[in-house]
Amino acid sequence: MPLLSQRPRGDICTEPLSAGKSRVRREKRQMIIGIEDDFSLEKMADCGQCFRAVCLPDGSYRFISREKVLNIREQVPHQFQVSCSEEEWDEFWRDYFDLSRTYKRIREDLLLQLSGERTTPFGQTSRGISEGDAATETARRQGSIDPGERCIQGLDVGSDAAIRFLTQAEQAGRGLRILRQDPWEMLITFIISQRKNIPAIRLAVEKLAMLYGHPVKEMLFTFPTPEELGRASEADLRTAGLGYRAPYVKDAADKVLSGALDLEALGKLDDGALFEKLMTVKGVGKKVANCICLFGFGRTSRAPVDVWIERAITLCGGVDPFPAFGEYAGIMQQYAFYYMTHQKM
């Protein structure tokens, strides 16, 4: 994760929604999205996972991904005005915001583990499992339950200090989601992120977009494709402000263009193999590889360790607690990262 480093508001859709689902309807020529699950624009834009999301003067947030630009603003709690069509929301942005998973349910699971109530797989406690819960557990194993409702295994997260810290982190980070971002953009931006704080990363990423991307709307530019960035020499990239990172970015672009790094094929690998393949790119160490796994490929079992998370581990008694959360390790890591950076701990 990079070092530390933006707010929302005013027509409504009142139909009730289940957690993790969204409903769309038009009012006064505006598209209104109802989202009942955890969903904080401010936190998602300001937690170090996305470098092109900005808060605009009217309180809306702008997200740019691939060829898409979205302006989104919270009108009233759980109701969001968006600038795209219903089709675009359903086909692109719903997945981008990971709305197929129920983060409220994930947090319930995390808190049960932290409180010691969950010591066995979901639906089961030390007192045993009911017939109804057994049927639910079978459905979960067969994959017919919302993946956001799958549980973590009951593993020991460590000391009382770790439990206190992680409980506070969950409260502070509530509303965060793991954005499902473009793997190519994540590969390059997290190479750039090394030894830079969030404002500096944002500036570097926007400069690359203006120099090598193409216009997508008004004065906005796409993040450059591998072909666009591949036309830049290492000297060009240094001039663009990448410094010692220029050869790393050039190596990544060359590997993708040559097919040595097939990003689509990487998405089919298991977590470990994906991590190892990313490590073959110059300048990609363990932290950067885990960031790309988490934010570019949606591998929520990966929990990157940077200076902030190292401090969090120290506060947890010196033992890394995140692996104990299994497939949700990266979600808990994001709560901890947000808590650490915004509490200046």
Could you read off the pLDDT of 60-103 as tens digits, one per residue?
A: 999 999 999 999 999 999 999 999 999 999 999 999 999 999 99
pLDDT(204) > 60: yes
**Residue among 305, 311, 265, 268 nearest 285 (CA):** 305
Q: Kindly indicate the confidence band of residue 52, based on its pLDDT and cuts at 50, 70 and 90.
A: very high
Mean per-residue pLDDT for 143-154? 38
Question: According to the per-residue pLDDT averaged within each range, which of 195-199, 242-246, 290-294 is highest?
Answer: 290-294
Boundaries of every domain in the chain = 22-96, 103-178+304-343, 183-297
pLDDT(150) > 70: no
At the topology level of CATH, where does 183-297 sit? Endonuclease III; domain 1 (1.10.340)
Mean per-residue pLDDT for 326-344? 93
Supply the DSSP string of 108-174, one letter for each residue: HHHHHHHHT---SSTT-BTTB--HHHHHHHHHHHTT-S-GGGPPPP------HHHHHHHHHHHHHHT
Q: Taking a C-beta distance cutoff of 8 angstroms, is the pair 190, 3 a contact?
A: no
Instruction: Give the global pTM.
Output: 0.81
Q: Tell me the per-residue pLDDT of 214-241, one tens digit each, with 9 for 90 and over.
A: 999 888 999 999 999 999 999 999 988 8
The pLDDT score that the predictor gives to residue 126 is 30
Q: Taking a C-beta distance cutoff of 8 angstroms, is the pair 49, 303 a contact?
A: no
At the topology level of CATH, where does 22-96 sit? TATA-Binding Protein (3.30.310)
Matching fold, domains 22-96 and 183-297: no
